[in-house]
Amino acid sequence: MRYFSRIEQLPAGARVSIYGAGGAGRKLLEQVRASNGHVELARFLDTFKEGVLDGVPVVRFSDFVQQHPKGDGPIVIASAFEEDIAWALKTAGFEDVCGFRDSTRFILCNSIYGMLPEGERFTLLDVGARDAMNDERWQGIPPSRMRLYGFELDEEGCAAMTREMSSDGLECRFFPLGLAGAAGARAFYHSPGHPGCSSLYPFDLDVIDRLKNASKHEARNLAEYIKPLQTLEVQVDTLDNWKAKYAVASVDFMKLNVQGAELEILQGGETVVPDVLGLLAEVAFIENYRGRPLFADLDSYLRAQGFTFFSFVGPIFMGRNDSPVTTRHLPEFHLWHGQLVESHALYLRDPIALERKGCDVSSFDMTKVLKLAALAERYFQVEFAFEVLGWYEGVLRKRADSAQADALKSVIDTAARSYQAAFGGVAVSNTV
């Protein structure tokens, strides 16, 4: 499913239905009304309720299906129950569906963008960028503040993504290139029906065949899900070679989702990794691909490079085919269902920890600290973002740079008040 964070990303003149009449739906309604007629809001959709909300009709989904069996414009999901709603829309045959991500919730980011030097951009590297056009991780960053490099083996797909995403001032280029630890020819193990499962590492079907992939609504043998399989020969290169060839100055954030090759890609980027402020890497806890490095291997490498682990994002739990019970389908059982097999791991630089270890943190200037705080907030590490900005305010005061320190303190104080106002809660002073 594709995502958007600005109403201008929807087709001009579209007749839109918002599925979800809660807080996110109201936020989207505000954008629609502020867009000067960019789109027309036809209705709110709700699974159970009907009536009127803020002057907009609320229609029960079952009634809508009868009235408009093929839809009458984009349906935008703005609800915490996104997975269930998406399933219901898919089952009913609706295809023009997208999700809304409210970028106004990133309060620090929206202040930080304006503090960055003129022309400064977040340079983002997306390795395994098949879904970059719909990737909510990149939503909400102003195009004029973003530079995106993506990597996929699909040449036509890369050309199409470069063409379609290079708009509104966004610097964007997708490279039909496989990345690895060394340049040369490699075997590529491909699942044509589910290319996101393809890898430079061979599938271990003895392991995979035991696993059950279950959503709320169905369960499938994972091995049958990825079949049939192909083995292809592809040419790969290293991040270091790519950086030199295209004269890339530095990268702020990396996303790696390549089914096992994450560690060797980083090892082939010795000139890239030192400048990276944060990364999100797919990690595994079982060897579902033969020879695949596990989380412990990647974690040891990244910690040695000066990164700090912060959280798992999107953990994937799997059940067992030889079990007569699918716990994912027992709503009153437990939030987690089965064995944790994969996830994405978030790592960020922590200059405070590095300084306390006696490391040189002089490279953390105002621009780098602002970018680090913004990236942290986008991955919901809000308290760390405030901590880093407060730490750098202290650094500036030690340098007697009161003008920049005062400007930073103003951002911190204003954002803290805005967080309390937007999300509720009571301001609490830290005491020792």
Greater model confidence, 12 or 304: 304
Task: Say whether pLDDT at 296 is over 90.
Answer: yes
Residue type, 401: D
Domain extent listing, the chain: 2-104, 109-356, 377-423
204 has pLDDT over 90 = yes
Label the pairing between strands 219-221 and 122-127.
Answer: unpaired
Residues linked to residue 345 through DSSP beta bridges, in sequence order: 281, 312
323: which DSSP letter?
A: -
Q: Within 10 Å of residue 159's Cβ, how many Cβ atoms? A: 12
Name the percent of the chain lying above pLDDT 90: 71
Using DSSP's 3-state secondary structure scheme, residue 307 falls into strand
What does the mean pLDDT of the chain come to? 91
Residue 348 has pLDDT above 50, yes or no: yes
Which tops the pLDDT comparison, 431 or 20? 20
Percent of the chain with pLDDT over 70: 96
pLDDT at position 366, please?
A: 97
Closest among 90, 89, 92, 82 to 20, alpha carbons compared: 82
Task: Give the tens place of pLDDT for each residue, 140-162.
Answer: 788 889 999 999 998 888 898 88
Which of 82-91, 93-102, 410-419 ranks highest by mean pLDDT?
Answer: 410-419
| Higher per-residue pLDDT: 424 or 269 | 269
Q: How confident is the model at residue 26, as a pLDDT?
A: 87
Contact 192, 230 (CB under 8 A): yes
pLDDT tier at 136 (50, 70, 90 boundaries)?
A: low
Q: Where are the beta strands (DSSP E) in 153-229?
A: 171-176, 178-179, 184-190, 211-214, 219-221
- pLDDT band of residue 46 (cuts 50, 70, 90) is very high
pLDDT at 37 > cutoff 80: yes
178 vs 336: which has the higher pLDDT? 178
Instruction: Check pLDDT > 80 for residue 139.
Output: no
How high is the pLDDT of residue 100? Answer: 83
Judged against a pLDDT cut of 70, whether residue 87 lies above it is answered with yes
- pLDDT for residue 257 is more than 70: yes
User: Which whole number is the average pLDDT over 112-131?
Assistant: 92
| Residue pLDDT, tens place only, 153-194 | 988 888 988 888 886 678 999 999 999 999 999 999 999 999
Q: Residue 21 has what pLDDT?
A: 87
Overall fold of domain 2-104: Rossmann fold (3.40.50)
For residue 429, pLDDT over 80 is answered with: no
Whether the domain at 2-104 and the domain at 109-356 fall into the same CATH topology: yes
Largest CA distance in the chain: 68
Q: What are phi and psi of 251, to 5 degrees?
A: -125, 135
Given a cut of 80, whether residue 292 has pLDDT beyond it is yes
The C-alpha angle 37, 43, 45, rounded to 5 degrees, equals 140
d(CA 318, CA 285) in angstroms, rounded, equals 12
Check residue 431 and give its pLDDT: 45
* Of 99-108, 207-216, 311-320, the least confident: 99-108
318-334 pLDDT per residue, tens? 999 999 999 988 888 87
Q: Residue range 95-112: average pLDDT? A: 87
Helix/strand/coil for 109: helix
Between CA 230 and CA 234 the distance in angstroms is: 12
CATH architecture of 109-356: 3-Layer(aba) Sandwich (3.40)
Please say whether the dihedral angle defined by the alpha carbons of residues 394, 400, 402 and 405, taken in this order, is positive or negative.
negative
The mean pLDDT value for 8-27 works out to 88
Q: Tokens at residue 147, please?
A: 């530079």
Residues 6+ apart with CB under 8 A from 389: 108, 369, 370, 373, 408, 411, 412
Is residue 103's pLDDT more than 80? no
